[in-house]
Amino acid sequence: MPIKAVAIIGAGIAGLTAALALARHGIASDIFEQAEVLTEVGAGLQISPNASRILDALGVLDALRPVWLEPGEIRLVSGSSLEQITSVPCGNFAMQRWGAPYGAAHRATLQKALLDAVTANALCKLHLGQHIDIKAKQALEDLAGRKFDLVIGADGVWSKAHALVPGAPAPLFSGNIAWRFSIAETAAPAMLDKANVTAFLGPSSHLVCYPIRENAAFNIVAIVSGNSASRDWGAAGSQAQRRQMLRAFSGWNGAIVQMLEAQEKASFWPLYEMKAGRWHNGEDTVLIGDAAHAMMPFAAQGAAMAIEDAFELAGMLATRPLTEALDLYEKHRAPRIARLRQRAAFNQFAYHARGPIRMARDLVLSLRPPQSLAADMDWIYGYRAAG
């Protein structure tokens, strides 16, 4: 018998997508969020075709396309010489090859589009400012005034829903720090590309830049190794931490170094990933997105995997008995997540290569046609989630 009502913990990208995906199958949901107001922290994100086709199916893509940027290509550029190493075509090529667009937007833009769709859907109900002990499912049911067949933990790395899943994954500090900031287009250095996503590569560090069209700004993420495992995401780094970051880029092109030196308010984001663990309790609780499998951002697939999780889980819940659906969800999704982890680890090795390995990397990449590099992404971008 299909389930009728679901409690979703967390109103981020994973939770809001889950509510819409469930509603698509006639399943009602209550979304519980401890924040009084939804304000998405962070800056920009990339929405690859495997995720944008899901947003299209959920009726959200039309709200994004007028405001986001669809880059012409993803460029890999030397952090020292600023010369392009290679590129992967996007734009119209993405539509033709993968059947859906590739876009870049501010996280708040995506969250607002999802929130507007949730608010307009009679099967979705959002509860803000709820500090509930979710170890007691009854507390959720009392607040909503109805019974829930399932609890979906979509509350990120520090998920409270983990307490309901014996053997759930545990967060592990990766040893990497992401420094995030934005620069207005009017104040941006000339090396920043207004039409494309650019990854500047250097020894033991890299920097990703792409325009946020709706904000007339550039989103910048600089990733370096670090030794702080603070949970205080989005905080301004200390002076000692900033000096450590700047040392990592000391051999880079002077224009990049000057840009980083000027960022007094860059946000300090320790990067955590999840150890292996169970994603559901076999009965009435399941984890999705970062709560299940937070990974390093080297494949730019964190948001996309949360969207895929939500969409495919909803489809399984609508067509199978609950316990069977939960088991199938984990067995179906885990291999794809594992493969993406491997891809992210490879990208980290390649992006942060030093010495002769870096020179060999640049030579090999420069000799490969862009279409060949795009073919390497078919299994990621061409994936058609079943929902």
Q: What are phi and psi for residue 221, nearest 5 degrees?
A: -130, 120
Residue 358 confidence (pLDDT): 81
Q: Which residue, among 285, 288, 316, has the nearest Cα to 386 in the 3D structure? A: 316
pLDDT of residue 234: 55
Q: Is the separation of the CB atoms in 344 and 295 below 8 Å? A: yes
Give the total residue count for the chain.
387
What is the Cα–Cα distance from 315 to 282, expressed in whole angstroms? 18
Question: Which tens digit of pLDDT belongs to each residue from 256-301?
Answer: 999 999 988 888 888 999 989 999 999 999 999 999 999 999 999 9
Q: Are 224 and 177 in contact (CB under 8 A)?
A: yes
**pLDDT per residue of the chain (387 residues) written in tens, 0 to 9:** 679 999 999 999 999 999 999 999 999 999 998 876 766 555 789 999 999 999 999 999 999 999 999 999 999 999 999 999 999 999 999 999 999 999 999 988 999 999 999 999 999 999 988 777 776 677 788 888 889 999 999 999 999 899 999 999 999 999 899 999 999 999 999 999 999 999 999 888 899 999 988 888 999 999 998 776 566 555 667 788 888 889 999 989 999 999 999 988 888 888 999 989 999 999 999 999 999 999 999 999 999 999 999 999 999 999 999 999 999 999 999 999 999 999 998 888 888 877 878 888 888 788 788 888 899 999 999 999 998
Sheet holding 285-287, edge to edge: 124-127, 28-32, 5-9, 150-153, 285-287
Rounded-to-integer distance, Cα 350 and Cα 353, Å: 5
Q: Given this model, what pLDDT does residue 88 score?
A: 92
For residues 285 and 151, is the Cβ–Cβ distance under 8 A? yes
- pLDDT at residue number 232: 58
171-184 vs 217-225, strand pairing mode: antiparallel
What are the extents of the domains in the chain? 5-70+105-170+274-349
- Output the pTM of the full model: 0.94
- Give the architecture-level CATH label for domain 5-70+105-170+274-349: 3-Layer(bba) Sandwich (3.50)
| Predicted local distance difference test score (pLDDT) of residue 63 | 95
Burial pattern 106-136, b for ≥16 Cβ within 10 A else e, equals: bbbbbbbbbbebbeebebbbbbeebebebee
pLDDT of amino acid 230: 60
- The whole-number pLDDT of residue 225 equals 85
pLDDT at 356: 78
Beta bridge partners of 29: 6, 124
* Helix runs in the chain, H state only: 13-23, 49-57, 61-64, 91-98, 107-119, 137-144, 239-248, 254-261, 290-293, 302-319, 322-351, 355-367, 370-375, 378-381
Longest Cα separation, the chain: 64
The rounded distance, in Å, linking the Cα atoms of 165 and 176 is 28
Identify the pLDDT of residue 141.
Answer: 81
Angle at 269 between CA 309 and CA 276, to 5 degrees: 40
Residues 53 and 384: their CA atoms lie apart, in Å, by 8
> Per the structure block, which two tokens stand in for 8?
């979703």
Instruction: Answer yes or no: are the C-beta atoms of 6 and 149 closer than 8 Å.
Output: yes
Tokens of 7: 């409690």
Q: Are 79 and 207 in contact (CB under 8 A)?
A: yes
